[in-house]
């Protein structure tokens, strides 16, 4: 039987809490000894007269329900773990946790109430198979980690503007994530959840890293920059619209998205690292990079595309491999860029179905060994074969994207394998 209950953490941190007693004035009865655990309600009742408790509170055991009453602040962490009979837990007076709130391996928990919680360093919800929704109004948190739950939706964190980490993974029933986050200073990762997950981060302005796997749609209406890497890997997504994105400081990887038919990167001007678009079997046009001027690493683009629009591209700091099986694709523009010295890595390969251009680039000459023929060229070749949705394995690397051993890939090999 699937529970349709949730975890609720709401309300605003009261002004009076900001004037709470310092930890130095906390009585000894409100201090938790190192290694101590609470395994019965009586263990929690000892703290009912404490507005602040100091230390790490760990709750475990065979209780069916438990409540932490009266406590407004924990100067430490709160962990509820391996309480396999626990169905309900409440801490409705709790407003602040200085360290981590962990709910882990609670197999029958269907309700956990934190009615006043506004501030916490880290949230970890791990292995909660009976909880299907989370609604929060936290005003401050650094890390959000939600993994291996029965969650169907994550509605919000509406009061949070910025976090360091937002990581949601391996929640197989997840259908919706909606967030009003504006900044993610380390990593935004939504991976290995249900294939039908729809995610929305329409207020997000910038992030350090973004990685999406196994999502069916994604919306980033305000995203203007990604400081490091951006990856769309093994999704069932049909379109990627990042028309507001102007800069990627690291790598861009769009790999093994079998339903992908359209891209919009109309305002992207620079990619600081590798540029990889491969194994997107339905993507017939890659004509949205008209403003892109520089690629700071290697470039790999493979597929069935007829159009490849890099009208403003001036510099590829690494090697380049571009291969299309479409008869409508032409290597002419890339050949011209290479001859002008715009491709600066150690190898350039372009195949358009009928012809192949392979150039071995060196520090002293960029045109030695230049050859064009109708035969396949193996120099610097990357293998990237299309796969069907039915053959995907969520736990494996994105379907059959194999980076070659040649030096052409350079940074791209690192990019691909870091994300796959």
The reply to whether 380 falls in a domain is: yes
List helix spans (H) across 173-330: none
The reply to whether 313 falls in a domain is: yes
The reply to whether 181 falls in a domain is: no
CATH of the domain at 108: 3.80.20.20
Picking from 100, 117, 134, the residue at the C-terminal end of a domain is: 117
Rounded distance between C-alpha atoms, residue 313 and residue 324, angstroms: 19
Query: The domain containing residue 70 runs over which residues?
Result: 9-17+26-117
Rounded distance between C-alpha atoms, residue 389 and residue 383, angstroms: 19
The reply to whether 168 falls in a domain is: no
The reply to whether 198 falls in a domain is: no
pTM of the model: 0.81
Q: Which long-range contacts (C-beta less than 8 Å, at least 24 apart) are formed by 351-359?
A: 351/322, 351/323, 351/324, 351/376, 351/377, 352/324, 352/326, 352/327, 353/324, 353/325, 353/326, 353/327, 353/329, 354/327, 355/331, 357/331
Mark whether 266 and 406 lie in a shared domain: yes
Partners of 184 in beta bridges: 163, 207
Rounded distance between C-alpha atoms, residue 236 and residue 238, angstroms: 6
Rounded distance between C-alpha atoms, residue 316 and residue 176, angstroms: 38
- pLDDT tens sequence for the chain (420 residues): 444 455 655 433 333 334 344 455 788 999 999 888 999 999 999 999 999 999 999 999 999 999 999 999 999 999 999 999 999 999 999 999 999 999 999 999 998 889 899 999 999 999 999 987 676 779 999 999 999 999 888 875 888 999 999 999 999 999 999 999 999 999 999 999 987 799 999 999 999 999 999 999 999 999 999 999 999 999 999 999 999 999 999 999 999 999 999 999 999 999 999 999 999 999 999 999 999 999 999 999 999 998 898 999 999 999 999 999 998 899 999 999 999 999 999 999 999 866 666 666 554 444 444 444 443 333 333 333 333 333 344 433 333 333 333 333 344 444 444 434
* Phi, psi at 258, each rounded to 5°: -70, -20
Picking from 62, 94, 117, the residue at the C-terminal end of a domain is: 117
- Strand (E) positions, 70-214? 73-75, 78-81, 88-90, 96-104, 111-114, 119-128, 131-136, 143-149, 153-156, 162-169, 176-179, 183-191, 197-200, 206-207, 210-213
User: Helix, strand, coil % (nearest 5) of the chain?
Assistant: 10, 40, 55
The reply to whether 161 falls in a domain is: no
Question: What domain count does the chain have?
Answer: 2
The reply to whether 1 falls in a domain is: no
Q: Which strand (E) or helix (H) includes residue 255?
A: strand 252-255
DSSP string, 96-122: EEEEEEEEES-TT--EEEETT--EEEE
The reply to whether 150 falls in a domain is: no
Picking from 68, 101, 117, the residue at the C-terminal end of a domain is: 117
């Amino acid at each position: 039987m699937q529970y349709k209950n949730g975890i609720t953490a709401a309300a605003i941190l009261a002004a009076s809490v900001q004037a709470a007693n310092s930890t130095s004035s906390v009585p000894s009865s409100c201090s938790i000894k190192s290694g101590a655990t609470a395994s019965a309600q009586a263990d929690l009742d000892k703290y009912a007269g404490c507005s602040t408790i100091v230390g790490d509170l760990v709750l475990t055991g065979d209780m069916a329900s438990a409540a932490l009453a009266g406590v407004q602040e924990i100067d430490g962490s709160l962990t509820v773990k391996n309480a396999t009979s626990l169905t309900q837990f409440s801490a409705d007076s709790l407003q602040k946790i200085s360290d981590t709130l962990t709910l882990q391996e609670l197999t029958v928990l269907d309700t956990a109430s934190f009615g006043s919680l506004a501030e916490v360093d880290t949230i970890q919800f791990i292995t909660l198979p009976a909880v299907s929704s989370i609604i929060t109004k936290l005003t401050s948190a650094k890390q959000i980690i939600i993994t291996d739950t029965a969650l169907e939706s994550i509605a919000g964190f509406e009061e949070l503007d910025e976090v360091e980490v937002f990581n949601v993974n391996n929640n197989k029933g997840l259908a919706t994530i909606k967030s009003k986050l504006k900044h993610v200073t380390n990593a935004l990762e939504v991976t290995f959840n249900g294939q039908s997950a729809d995610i929305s981060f329409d207020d997000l302005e910038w992030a350090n890293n973004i990685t999406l796997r196994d999502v069916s749609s994604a919306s980033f209406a305000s995203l203007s920059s990604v400081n490091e890497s951006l990856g769309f890997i093994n999704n069932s997504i049909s379109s990627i619209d990042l028309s507001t994105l102007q800069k990627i400081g690291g790598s861009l990887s769009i790999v093994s998205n079998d339903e992908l038919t359209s891209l919009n990167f109309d305002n992207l001007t620079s990619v600081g690292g590798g540029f990889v678009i491969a194994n997107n079997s339905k993507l017939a046009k890659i004509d949205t990079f008209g403003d892109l001027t520089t690629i700071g690493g290697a470039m790999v683009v493979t597929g069935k595309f007829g159009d490849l629009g890099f009208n403003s591209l001036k510099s590829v700091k690494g090697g380049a491999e571009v291969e299309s099986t479409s008869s409508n694709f032409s290597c002419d523009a890339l050949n011209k860029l290479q001859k002008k010295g715009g491709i600066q890595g150690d190898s350039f390969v372009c195949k358009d179905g009928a012809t192949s251009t392979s150039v071995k680039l060196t520090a002293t000459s960029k045109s030695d060994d230049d050859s064009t023929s109708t035969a396949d060229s193996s120099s610097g070749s990357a293998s990237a074969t299309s796969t069907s949705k039915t053959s995907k394995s969520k736990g494996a690397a994105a379907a059959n994207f194999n980076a070659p051993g040649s030096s052409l890939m350079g940074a791209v090999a690192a990019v691909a394998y870091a994300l796959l």
